[in-house]
Amino acid sequence: MTTHDEAVPPAGERHSVVSGARPRVVLGVTGGIAAYKACELLRLLTESGHDVTVVPTESALRFVGAPTWAALSGKPVHTGVWDDVHEVPHVRIGQSADLVVVAPATADLLAKAAHGLADDLLTNTLLTARCPVVLAPAMHTEMWEHAATAANVATLRERGVVVVEPAEGRLTGADSGKGRLPEPAEIFELALEVLARGVPRADLAGRRVVVSAGGTREPLDPVRFLGNRSSGRQGYALARAAASRGAEVTLVSANVSLPDPAGVKVVRVETTGQLRDAVVGAAATADAVVMAAAPADFRPASVSGSKIKKAGDGSAAPLELEQNPDVLAELSRDRVRPGTIIVGFAAETGDDAGGVLDHARDKLARKGCDLLVVNDVSGGAVFGSDDNQAVILAADGSVVEVPLGTKAALAHVVWDEVARRFGT
């Protein structure tokens, strides 16, 4: 068993050095209860070196006051077009932005943006911005599903605006459903991706994909398990990237403590057996399956119903293991849905028997998958860092070298290779 995405520092530390001019981000905030979550998004953006101008609406200020935005961004905060008129802020702020993010975006803001209304500083900014725009809606389920909102979202997406799918869960009152603002850390990751790569193409629209992430845990007794240190970051980056390119994504997540990627169906599992069932089930209708998880290869032969006590005489611990299913090999062998592209990951080191690529080619053949993403971990690379360098080997013989870059960047190259094989 190997892990592909070991624990890494928090996002704020990873992106703290931005070379050259600081990217200019406009953070629009509209009047929804989730406005308080935008404070955390602002914090993530400023601490990672971005120059952030906050443009709240009048209604947003009823939830979180201007002093909070001013203190956190280090800049004055205005909502209307009549302050500092000599600086022409209604044009300048939008024109000079590298990215506009609106979080939360109410149904009202979506409607105004779709129709080009400009009655305050934020809507003026949206009209003058020529940079990528990310809108993160938050509202009650009925408002999100209303035909008017759906039409506005479709119009905005057609124009190249990134409209994030709201999350499901607890809403303002006691009710729950679709309409929650995705976690600030998730919107932050998406913002970084759009800043780095521009607005994603919708080349995976209409495709169903399954991604596994994290490390499985095999229970030993009620309080202990066998596990590994996989953080799930690479799998989550793959799921986020696929969703941003329009795919319908099922993420089978084993013991990961990261926020759910926006617009992704997350299925939580604990053991390799549960992961196998979830992945094989979802794969029956999938166009691609990417196995980025680190499933435990072995599990205790029996699970004790009570806590195992150490023997008083110091004798060896009774730990007998049996082998778990190899999910990747099973998917590749059974090919339940012909045409599904199956992708595996491998972390390899060279040894006396051969180099990294020799071992990787053996693994590609042994597992029978279509693509194998190979990390050379000889010098401890990958582990403990957010960056990844890889080679993607294909069963058809092609080799793609992926230079050192973020896990998000590697995720997009993997989807490029998958999409090429779909013929899109």
Among 272, 340, 388, 406, binds ligand CTP (CB under 6 A): 272
Decide if residue 332 touches ligand CTP (CB under 6 A). Answer: no
Distances from the Cα of 56 to the Cα of 24, 53, 92, 109, 202, angstroms: 16, 10, 16, 11, 30
Question: Residue 64 corresponds to which amino acid?
Answer: V
Q: Say which residues have a Cβ less than 8 Å from residue 311's Cβ, sequence separation at least 6.
A: 317
Q: How many residues does the chain have?
A: 424
Cβ-contact 16, 9 below 8 angstroms: no
Size of residue set near ligand CTP by CB under 6 A? 14
79 lies in the site for ligand CTP, by CB under 6 A: no
Annotated active-site residue in 124, 152, 228, 375 = 228
388 counts as catalytic: no
Rounded to whole angstroms, how far apart are CA atoms 192 and 405? 13
Residue 20: both structure tokens together? 């050259």
Nearer to ligand CTP, 109 or 294 (CB): 294
Candidates 58-66, 75-83, 344-352, 407-415: pick the segment binding ligand CTP (CB under 6 A). 344-352
Cβ-based nearer residue to ligand CTP, 123 or 230: 230
Q: Which is nearer to ligand CTP, 93 or 242 (CB)?
A: 242
Options 27, 45, 54, 327; binder of ligand CTP; rule CB under 6 A: 327
- Of 31, 163, 344, 374, the one binding ligand CTP by CB under 6 A: 344
Q: With binding defined as CB under 6 A, does residue 141 bind ligand CTP?
A: no
Gap between the Cα atoms of 248 and 181, Å rounded: 19
Name the one residue in this structure whose structure tokens are 């302050």: 83
Using the minimum distance from each CB to ligand CTP, give the nearer residue, 258 or 291. 291
CB of 325: closest distance to ligand CTP in angstroms? 6
Q: What are the C-alpha distances in Å from 12 to residues 91, 284, 286? A: 30, 38, 35
Q: What part of residues 88-107 is at the interface with ligand CTP (CB under 6 A)? A: none
Helix (H, G, I), strand (E, B) or coil at 221: strand
Segment near ligand CTP (CB under 6 A); pick from 78-86, 158-166, 230-238, 326-334: 326-334
Binding mask 287-316 for ligand CTP (x = CB under 6 A): ----x-x-x-x-------------------
Contacts of 334 (CB under 8 A, 6+ apart): none
For tokens 């009650």, what's the residue? 140
Smallest distance, ligand CTP to C-beta of residue 321, A: 13
Stretch near ligand CTP under the rule CB under 6 A, chosen from 45-53, 175-183, 324-332, 412-420: 324-332
Question: Exposed e or buried b for every residue in 218-253, given b needs 16+ CB within 10 A?
Answer: bbbeeeebbbbebbbbbbbbbbbbbbbbbbbbbbbb
Residues involved in catalysis:
228
Question: Site residues (CB under 6 A) for ligand CTP?
Answer: 1-2, 272, 291, 293, 295, 297, 324, 326-328, 344-346
